[in-house]
Each structure stands twice: as structure tokens, then as C-alpha cells.
Structure 1
Amino acid sequence: MLHGNVWHIGSPSPDARVVACGPTDRGCGEVTVSSHQSEPIRRSIEVEYWVIDDEGRLVEPGELLDASAGAEEEFVEPLIEIKTTPCETTAELRAELFERVGAVLRRADELDRGLVPLATPVYQDEIPERESERTHIQNAVVGEDFEYVRHCAGTHIHVEQQPGRAIDQLNAFIALDPALALVNSSPYFQGRRLAAGARSKLYRWMAYDDVPHQGRLWTYADDTDEWTRRLERRYEEFLTAATDAGVDRRAIASSFDPESAVWTPVQLREEFGTVEWRSPDTALPGQVVRLADDLAGVVERMRDAEVRIQGDGGRVDGEDIVLPEFDAVIGYVNAAIRDGLADPDLQAYLERMGFDVDAYEPVSPAIDSGRTISPEAARQLRLEQAERLERDVLQADPIRGD
């Protein structure tokens, strides 16, 4: 949510008029692009972890919130969020994230606590919320299905908007949404196997099933005006649903605005000057840093490449960024959620879009031990994954440069 993260997008220096294509294959035109294009592309990460005691039971973060800058509580009690500031390079981002997670882990060790990099707690009947007006309103709008959201831990990646290319960047991230499969980190919900990406299924197909415009992936946008109109429509729908549920309109306005009232996985964030990707599960820090680097790499190529929407194949290469038609993207997204990297067509798509699939090790296949899992086995699994996180961070190799 970037509370406290400062995204100051500098004013462009002398502009140049260049020919660039828009978000569709309808033709090209002149856009203003600044010398900002030669500057580093900043990116930041927010990652959530479950907090456990030494027996694998979920507990509140407590003193862990004071262990590092960027450590904050979440809307459910046993989650902690750790976020970075905007960083210009992969090395800088990796160093900051590892430093902050490491500080929390060292404090956790003193308190016999652990952090669990799993997208769901695997087996947990109920997860208590923290009291807040915002959460109260969400419960009123979503209803009983909001229970599904309480079982989800994820990663948000922000990448700085490029002047004149914000919509191309937004559309590219929509097309890259199937890359969520690269870090699927739990197939289980309440002890039963749900999907390779259980968290994504909980969010998109279960929690927001009755309000799909709020939680599912939106189609490509033609321009920022269209994006703004979408936000305004969704906000009005949200206001109507909340007031119909008995929430005072002033309370809604004090907790939400058009940008913060939607949970679609890819968002143009005017407040921060970024495009935000909210789909990935929580995962090991090295994996989410790699993912952020891959997204920034696509944006880097965008500076000199034409972006167009065509067909159902998609590709990112030195000259072109070709995004598949949206229906094809949804097909890849569904495969990413249901089967993950076990789907060969999805693997091939991600490779064409510039990802080194073999460099990722999603946890879901490794911990998938059958259709159900017991509470005792779930607690043991949390302990094992907490140890894995600790090894990844505290025993990491020296930080490599970009």
C-alpha cells in the first residue's frame, strides 16, 4: 500500500517529439517523451508474511513491527508487511529488501517467532481481522466471501511510470499477469487443495465473484482518460453497494477514493506515479526481486520498442512488444491459477514474454502432497517454510550487482 514510501516523480527536462504506437494496433502518432527515458527505472516491493510461534501456530507480529523500517501490520492479525522504498537498480532493491526482512527475522528469532512465505496459511479455520472502518466497509460490500481474502498473503510490485508510455506500460503488465505462476506458493485453503495458485483463485473467483469488476483483471485501456472513467464507474458501484448495505456515505468517502476502492490485479497508480502489479503470491525475497527486475526490464525495452496488441501468441524482443488479445491473456491467467507452470503452453508464453522460467522455483508443486492436509501437517509445513526463508535471507550469498 506504500504507506510512507515516497515516490517523487521528477519534472521532465526538455521534451522531444517522437513517433510511438499506442496501446492497440490502430496506428501510431506523436507523443511527448522526456529525457527521463535515459534515467533508471525505479521499482519497489511490498511483501506479506504469516507470523508463527515456535510450534507453527499463527500469532500477531507484536514487537516485530519495530524491527525495521518498512515493517507494518496488515488488516488481519497474523500478517506482517515489509516494504522497500523506490530503488533504481536490482542490486539496490535486493539489498534493501534483504536488509529489512533480515532485521525482522533476527528479531523474530529472539522472540521464538518465524515468518512464513506461503500464500495461504494452508490450514486455518478463522483468521481474525484488526478493527478498522475500512475493513468494516469491505465486509459490508463483499459480504461473507470477504472471509477468503483473510487467508491471502501476497506481493505488490510498483514500477515507475514512463512519461508518455503509462498506458502501454499498464497494458504490458496486464499481458504479463500470467507470470503470477512463477511464484505460486500455496495450493491449499483450509486444508484442501484448491489450485496451483490458491490465493489467486480465492481472490478472483471466490472473494469477488459477486463484484467481479472490483477484483478481476481488467481489459486493456486505450488511454488514461478511459482508465479514469473506469475508476469512477467502479467507485460509484462501490458507493452504491456500500450504502445499500447500510454504510454511511461519509464514512465511505473518508476511507476510500476511486483509486483505493478497487482491487484489480494491475493498476495505474496516479498517487505514486507507478504501475502496480498485485498478483504475485508472497515468496522468497530473491524470487520477488527477480520478478520486479523482469518487469522493469520489459519497461526498459518499451522505451525503444513499439507496443501493439495482436493475435494470441505475444512476444517481447528487441524491436517489438506484442501483447496478445485480452481473451488470450485470460486463458493464460486461468492456466497460471489452475495448473501453474505444469501447463506447457503457459511456460512457452512466459518465455516468449521474456521470462527465464527455469530461474524460478514456485513452492506450490513442492508442497502439494495431495487433496487434503491436516492441521498438524500444516503447522509443520509453516515451520519448514519459515526456516527456508531464514536460510534464503540470513545465509544469502553476497549481493550481486545488476
Structure 2
Amino acid sequence: MGSNIGAEIEYNLIDSEGYLVNNAPQILADSRNDGSFVKEGTNSQIEIVSDPADTVEELGQNIRGKIILLEDICKSYGSVPIPASEFGAGKGELRGMSDPLKNRGPIYLDLFGKESFEELRAYSGIHLHISQTPGKQTEQYNLLHALDLLSYALTSSSPISYQGINSINCHRVNSFRNNVFKDHPLQGQLQPYINSTNELDKRNQLMWQQWLNVLTKKNNVTAEGYVNLFKPENTGYAPIRKRDNIGPTGTFEVRSFDTNSLDITLAVFALYKGIHDKAMNNNCPIEIATPDNTYNFAEDKIILPNYQTLLQFENEGIQNGLKSDLVRDYIAHLLPYAEAGLPPEDKIYLAPLKKMLLTRDNPADEIMNFMREQGYAGHQFTPQQTAQTNLYMREKHLHSLN
């Protein structure tokens, strides 16, 4: 028996020249929006919410249909969607900043300050929901926790920051793990494995209370809004959330994917689902390695890399992507295991990942290859140059729909 999956996918809106357009409110209010499209942090962002699905094939068909509808609506308003974060070609206007009782923006501004909040709202990502298996939630969480690296090393579309700076492979995850949440580690950084789901509940309650304490000292209005809008289970930017109120059994929400073209998105979903379903169906022991840089996914036992190794994976993935041997070797070990856990109709979705392992180029590398081909060089790109990046992502997006 396999897991049930679903997704939330964030897109930015651009004009014909590649610059951000802040017309998401009009698109969301269009009568053709059947509830598939919801607001995000800025007025240049839209999130697509999929229906639940039993296979990657089914999920892909559902998402593709929603994208086509979004494309049709956007035409009426002079913009088009792209699976990308902000690269510096325009700026998304912050939504709902005047009312902290109804919107999270003013609350985040009080928590982080202007500079970090500007960084936080600039990135677009994807969340994958995987149904919880009653009685196995601790093993599920730890298994998905061990796959953290895969979510961004294979999907990174942010080699260029919202300021146009190009220096690392994944600015989005670097921003969350090392910049914005440096003073709020519990709310955004990778935490150790758990021994029971009770630890997650306690961790969630603690992170919620920590932020309430900060806001109470600063601003009573945003503290009131915080209590209204935030609950322990939806507080912070943790890499994985346990969402007990979604679906018949609840879900685990994996939150560290960069937004990307549909072919890449479905490929990584297939990788996750294959690993997860095979491990759960085999019902074999899942242990955590004691030595660093040790792991093994086998039929009779799974040995997960320890927490220190996960942190090493994180640093290597952020900085170097698949150019890191450590990153590449781990994914190469997992790919056959994942393929064995998928039904025939889903195995084909792994093809882009097999190609990536051969070329050692992930989507972020391909973006940088494109920029160099245009003759763009240096540590920082201009808005005119990153507008071309947006148009490149538009072409990748359209190609993935065919």
C-alpha cells in the first residue's frame, strides 16, 4: 500500500519583459479561480494547491490542469507565472502590512526586523504532503528528516539571491537556515531526530511560546494578531511539519523544496514517495548511524545518516549542490531504492534525476550556465540581466508542461 500525496507550489508573476508584476490579487479574485489558487506573502506570488493523489502520475495530471487554468486567467491580466524566487528584476509588494490582526506580514516584521523580513518574503518554494501512517509516525518523520538534502539539492532554483547576488547553489535554504533564523533556530533550522512524536508536539509548543514572548515585549497589537493567526502546528519554517488536521490520517509536510518546473518537481516527489513507500511497506527496522558519513537503505534494515552528517549534507548542498561528492553519492545510493518502491507508471518520473547525477548540474547550475552563455559575469547581476533569468525560467516552465 502506498502513501497519499499532495502539494502546494508557489509561483511568481512576470510581464513579457521578465519583470515582476504585482497583480496576484486580481488573478485570485477572478471568477475562474475554483479554489486552486491562494494568496502568498507578496502580491507577485500565487500558490497552487493540488488535490490529494495516490500516485505521482495522478498528482502530475492534477497539477498540470491547475497550471493550465492559471495560465488562462493570467492572460486576462497581462502576466504569466514562473516557478522562481525573486532574482532582483522587480520586487513583490508585501501583502496586508496594515493589519496585523488578519495578516502575518506585520508579525514577521516585528519578529525579524526589516532586512531579514525582506529576505524571508523573497523566496518561493514547494511543500509536499505525505499521508501519515498510524503507528509509524516516528519512523516516518525520521525517514523524511534524513531526506532533507534531496529537497533542495535537486530542486534549487535560487543560485541568485533577491538582491541579484550569485555566490552559492541555493540561496533560499541558506536564507532560512543560516540568515533569517539565526536567532530563532528552533523555528527554522534543521533539528535532531526524534524519539517520539510527543517531542514534536513539545517542540511546536515551545517555538510558539518563544515567539509570543518576543512579540509581547515589543508590540501588544502584533502579539494579539499572533495569538489569532498562529498555532503551534503552523508556527515557524521548520523543514517538516506534522499536520494532523489534513486528510483522513494527517500528513507530514516537507517544506524545503525550491519551486521549479513541473518535470523537476514531479521527479523529486517520485524520489520521496518511492523511498517512503518502500520503507513503510517493508516494515523493516529504521536506525540512526553512530559514525558520521554512514548510511544504508537495504531490504532488511535502514540506517539513516546521523544528525551531524545531515548538517554536513546541508552545508554541502547549499554551497555546491551536486558538485559535492558527498551530496551526489548519497542521492545515487537512494535512487535505486526509490525506484523499487514506485509503481511502473511513476518510475518514469525519475528520469530527470538520473540525468542530473550524470551531468552533476542541478537546476541552479543550469540557470548559471544560461547566464554565462548570455555573457553575464561577476558576483552580482543587474535587474535587466535577472529579467532574462525570469524569462529563462518561463521557458523551462512551458517546456515541462508538454
TM-score tier after normalising by the smaller chain length: 0.7 to 0.9
Out of 202, 221, 226, the residue aligned to residue 252 of structure 1 is: 226
Amino acid at match of 1:102: I
Q: Which stretch shifts more, 312-321 or 275-284?
A: 312-321
Residue 154 of structure 2 corresponds to which residue in structure 1? Answer: 182
- Aligned partners of 2:192 and 2:324: how far apart in 1? 23
Residue 94 of structure 2 corresponds to which residue in structure 1? Answer: 129
Residue 278 of structure 1 corresponds to which residue in structure 2? Answer: 255
- Aligned partners of 1:244 and 1:275: how far apart in 2? 33
Residue 86 of structure 1 corresponds to which residue in structure 2? Answer: 52
- Aligned partners of 1:55 and 1:41: how far apart in 2? 42
Deviation at 1:213, TM superposition (A): 1.4
User: Structure 1 pair 257/42, CA: closer, same or farther in 2 (3 Å)?
Assistant: same
Deviation at 1:386, TM superposition (A): 1.1
Out of 56, 59, 70, the residue aligned to residue 104 of structure 1 is: 70
Q: Which stretch shifts more, 160-169 or 267-276?
A: 267-276
Deviation at 1:250, TM superposition (A): 3.3
Deviation at 1:302, TM superposition (A): 2.2
Out of 115, 131, 143, the residue aligned to residue 81 of structure 2 is: 115
SS at match of 2:113: helix
Aligned-pair Cα RMSD in Å = 1.8
Amino acid at match of 1:376: Q
User: Structure 1 pair 94/75, CA: closer, same or farther in 2 (3 Å)?
Assistant: same
- Aligned partners of 1:125 and 1:51: how far apart in 2? 11
- Aligned partners of 1:299 and 1:164: how far apart in 2? 15
Question: 1:121·1:378 contact (CA, 8 Å) conserved in 2?
Answer: no
Question: 1:141·1:242 contact (CA, 8 Å) conserved in 2?
Answer: yes
Matched, 1:72 2:38: yes
Residue 6 of structure 2 corresponds to which residue in structure 1? Answer: 44
Question: 2:19·2:89 contact (CA, 8 Å) conserved in 1?
Answer: no
Q: Percent identity?
A: 24
1:53-91 CA-partner distances (Å, limit 9, x unpaired): 112121122443344441112121111111101111111
Deviation at 1:211, TM superposition (A): 1.2
SS at match of 1:49: strand
- Aligned partners of 1:292 and 1:342: how far apart in 2? 22
Deviation at 1:389, TM superposition (A): 0.9
Residue 25 of structure 1 corresponds to which residue in structure 2? Answer: none
Q: TM-score, normalised by structure 1?
A: 0.84
Residue 236 of structure 1 corresponds to which residue in structure 2? Answer: 209
Amino acid at match of 2:232: P
Residue 385 of structure 1 corresponds to which residue in structure 2? Answer: 393
Amino acid at match of 1:256: F
- Aligned partners of 1:269 and 1:313: how far apart in 2? 30
Amino acid at match of 1:274: T
Q: Which stretch shifts more, 312-321 or 227-236?
A: 312-321
Residue 243 of structure 2 corresponds to which residue in structure 1? Answer: 269
User: Structure 1 pair 359/274, CA: closer, same or farther in 2 (3 Å)?
Assistant: farther
Paired positions, count: 355
Residue 316 of structure 2 corresponds to which residue in structure 1? Answer: 335
Amino acid at match of 1:333: E
- Aligned partners of 1:116 and 1:90: how far apart in 2? 21
Amino acid at match of 2:131: E
Residue 346 of structure 2 corresponds to which residue in structure 1? Answer: none
The correspondence of residues 1-400 of structure 1 with structure 2, limited to 5 A, is 38=1, 40-59=2-21, 60-65=23-28, 66=30, 67-69=32-34, 70-118=36-84, 120-124=85-89, 126-131=91-96, 132-133=99-100, 134-144=104-114, 145-179=116-150, 180-189=152-161, 190-248=163-221, 249-272=223-246, 273-303=250-280, 304=282, 305-310=284-289, 311=291, 312-354=293-335, 357-360=353-356, 362-368=362-368, 369=372, 370=377, 371-393=379-401, 396=402
Structure 2: which 5+ residue stretches go unaligned?
339-349
Structure 1: which 5+ residue stretches go unaligned?
1-37, 397-402
- Aligned partners of 2:191 and 2:241: how far apart in 1? 9
Amino acid at match of 2:302: I
Question: 2:20·2:90 contact (CA, 8 Å) conserved in 1?
Answer: no
Amino acid at match of 1:350: I
Question: 2:155·2:264 contact (CA, 8 Å) conserved in 1?
Answer: yes
Question: 1:142·1:211 contact (CA, 8 Å) conserved in 2?
Answer: no
Question: 1:114·1:383 contact (CA, 8 Å) conserved in 2?
Answer: no
- Aligned partners of 2:167 and 2:37: how far apart in 1? 30
1:179-231 CA-partner distances (Å, limit 9, x unpaired): 11001112111111141001111121111112121111111110011111111
Question: 1:314·1:353 contact (CA, 8 Å) conserved in 2?
Answer: no
Residue 29 of structure 1 corresponds to which residue in structure 2? Answer: none
Residue 14 of structure 1 corresponds to which residue in structure 2? Answer: none
- Aligned partners of 1:321 and 1:275: how far apart in 2? 20
Deviation at 1:388, TM superposition (A): 2.3
Amino acid at match of 1:129: L
Deviation at 1:149, TM superposition (A): 0.9
Amino acid at match of 2:24: P
- Aligned partners of 2:242 and 2:49: how far apart in 1? 19
Q: TM-score, normalised by structure 2?
A: 0.84
Question: 2:90·2:383 contact (CA, 8 Å) conserved in 1?
Answer: no
Question: 2:157·2:260 contact (CA, 8 Å) conserved in 1?
Answer: yes
